[in-house]
Amino acid sequence: MGRIVYVNGRYVPESAARVSVFDRGFLMSDAVYEVTAVLDGKLVDFDGHLERLARSLGELDMENPLDSASLLEIHRELVRLNGLDEGLVYLQVTRGVADRDFAYPQDATPTVVLFTQVKSLAESEQAGTGIRVVFVDDLRWGRRDIKTVQLLYPSMSKMEAKSRGADDAWLVQDGFVTEGTSNNAYIVKDDTIITRELSNDILHGITRAAVLRYARERQVRIEERAFTPDEARAADEAFITAASTFVMPVVSIDGATIGDGKPGPVARRLRKIYLEESRKSAV
Ligand code: PLP
């Protein structure tokens, strides 16, 4: 039967879901998105995702088509209709349908699409072994703080990583790591967590914000600054964060084994804390 998806106010079977070929999301990547994790049928860090959605829309002068209560209701209804216990809810808002033109249309109605994906998040084989990353030049545009659907370069980077025998890429710009293709990047040195500071150069990860908050509450030292590929290769530990992976240990960086090649204690502890706190605060 397939999933039930949400399209512009209606819950429909995925086979019947339609968006116009003139939709600016399709023609111009004129669209933003959010991905929210679901644990025990509940939404993780939901307020953070709503706030970032509002910010992304604002940066693109796009109207927010739905208020927070409606967005929560739609997420919940979709989780319920699909019987989703653990996985992801994807939300996309486009500027809407208009004849093709570079200038924004004045009167388009935003297109809103949501769908669910089943994914095992708490129990993850990869979290047990850790992942391998390689460095790739960061050739993305300059407003990575806006969560747009222009994801071709991250896709290309992910494919390059796979062709080089790794799981993912860490992107490098002007001699410093920015972030992963679809996650924020961290190293650990002498019990200090190092991750790039917020700017237009990276996406302001919702999982990043939560993980750093939980770490600070437990007196873990944190340095928010850019780090080099050499520092990364020489790190005691490394990990990534994203709604779709939570805290995921990294055990190899561009061919260099990190620590003893197994997930390190800081990453393992943060993963456990994140899971416990998320189960408590999910809505
Ligand atoms: N950085 C990039 C480029 C991403 O695409 C993502 C998630 O899609 C993240 C970081 C992590 O963000 P979040 O923790 O909000 O999922």
Query: Going residue by residue through the chain (283 aa), what tens digit of pLDDT does each one get?
Result: 699 999 999 999 999 999 999 999 999 999 999 999 999 999 999 999 999 999 999 999 999 999 999 999 999 999 999 999 999 999 999 999 999 999 999 999 999 999 999 999 999 999 999 999 999 999 999 999 999 999 999 999 999 999 999 999 999 999 999 999 999 999 999 999 999 999 999 999 999 999 999 999 999 999 999 999 999 999 999 999 999 999 999 999 999 999 999 999 999 999 999 999 999 999 9
Tell me the C-alpha distance between 229 and 254, whole Å. 9
162 labelled catalytic: no
Q: How far is the CA of 242 from the centre of ligand 1 (A)?
A: 5
**Amino acid, single-letter form, for residue 15:** S
**pTM for this entry:** 0.98
Phi, psi at residue 193, to the nearest 5°?
A: -85, 130
Angle among Cα 200, 154, 249 to the nearest 5 degrees reads 90
User: Could you identify the atom of ligand 1 that is nearest to the CA of residue 209?
Assistant: 14
- The bridge status of strand 176-180 relative to strand 168-173 is antiparallel
Test site for ligand 1: of 203, 213, 247, most ligand atoms within 8 A of the Cβ: 203
* Tally of CB atoms within 10 A around 247: 25
User: Measuring from atom 4 of ligand 1, which residue has the nearest CA?
Assistant: 182
Tell me the C-alpha distance between 109 and 22, whole Å. 12
Q: How far is the CA of 145 from the centre of ligand 1 (A)?
A: 10
Q: How far is the CA of 183 from the centre of ligand 1 (A)?
A: 4
User: Could you identify the atom of ligand 1 that is nearest to the CA of residue 48?
Assistant: 15
Question: What's the first-to-final CA gap in the chain, in angstroms?
Answer: 28
Tell me the C-alpha distance between 248 and 185, whole Å. 10
Distance of CA 184 to the CA centre of its chain: 8
Test site for ligand 1: of 184, 196, 208, most ligand atoms within 8 A of the Cβ: 184
Alpha-carbon dihedral of residues 155, 51, 179, 25, nearest 10 degrees? Answer: 20
Pocket of ligand 1 (CB under 6 A): 35, 179, 182-184, 203, 205-208, 241-243
Predicted local confidence at residue 1, as pLDDT: 64
- Catalytic choice (42, 119, 147, 158): 147
